Amino acid sequence: MDETTLAASDIGRLEKLHGDVLELCLRLEAAAGEPDIGGELRDLAEAIPQTLKSVQELEERLLFPDFDRHAGSCFAAMAIERLKAEHRCDRLAAEELSLTLKAVAEDRCGLMPETVSRMIIGFQEALRRHVFLEKMMLEALISAKSGDRDVFS
């Protein structure tokens, strides 16, 4: 097996990382309702960039290349480039939100609480959609491999 092919252990790790992202989304959703919980905001601010980095690195290193190899369509390459661009946007949004949450936790943020809540909600909703799409890619890839066919055939 080449180094850019998903192994069973990689699939398990990816599923765990997707679970971590969804758990982070639940925590963000709770924080959006109470943006004055300082300790939790500091913890979230630290968790956001690292959680995203872990899952995105694995997706880009293994899931995307393996999906592209088994896609049977140029559509896959275009979709993957779009997902990589979304990853870059997610990383920038994660850094911005992380800095904002640290500022709120340290009582040095000039933003209205409603603005911070909207930032949190928008970010976690984007992450949920992203995880859903990548889980669909993973399931399509596993199904195609088990049927010895291309994803788009």
pLDDT tens digit at each of 153 positions of the chain: 566 778 889 999 999 999 999 999 999 999 888 756 667 889 999 999 999 999 999 999 999 999 999 998 888 899 999 999 999 999 999 999 999 999 998 888 888 888 999 999 999 999 999 999 999 999 999 999 899 888 887
| Class of domain 8-146 as given by CATH | mainly alpha
Residue 65's nearest CA partner among 53, 81, 49, 87 is 81
**pTM of the shown model:** 0.89
